[in-house]
A = this chain, B = another copy of it.
Amino acid sequence: MVEGEVLVALADPTRRRILDVVAALGEATATVLADEIPVSRQAIVKHLGVLERAGLVEGRRAGREVRFVVRSEPLGATAAWMTRLAADWDARLAVIKRIAEGD
């Protein structure tokens, strides 16, 4: 399940903040993020690792630095999964309610 990694990645506030900054700047290095967010560069690097494994971010090397860019596909896919799930729950609830009431 790909959603799992995305959900775990998004569950952390610092990680969400990193995504916001990267999205806002278009691209950013760990070092830049580190002085935009009150956390050490190393912590940022670890978070970027999690985000990259979830596919939410992609790092491309440019000389001596690594520029990270945001990737929306996994986010959209997970959103779609959640929407389907919510619809599924509603459908089940509707069935149960109908049985309970009418018959």
A positions within 8 Å CB-CB of B: 4, 7-8, 10-11, 13, 16, 23-24, 26, 69-70, 72, 75-76, 78-80, 82-83, 85-90, 92-93, 96
- Known: A79-B79, A82-B78. Is A92-B11 also a contact (CB below 8 A)? no
Give the residues in chain B near A80, CB-CB below 8 Å: 79
B76→A79 contact, CB < 8 A: no
Distance A40 CA – B72 CA, assembled complex (angstroms):
38
B13→A10 contact, CB < 8 A: no
Give the residues in chain B near A7, CB-CB below 8 Å: 7, 10-11
Name the one of B24, B75, B87, B89 contacting A85, with C-beta atoms under 8 angstroms: B75
Distance A72 CA – B93 CA, assembled complex (angstroms):
10
Distance A35 CA – B97 CA, assembled complex (angstroms):
26
B75→A26 contact, CB < 8 A: no
B82→A70 contact, CB < 8 A: no
Distance from A58 Cβ to chain B, minimum over Cβ atoms (Å): 12
A70→B96 contact, CB < 8 A: no
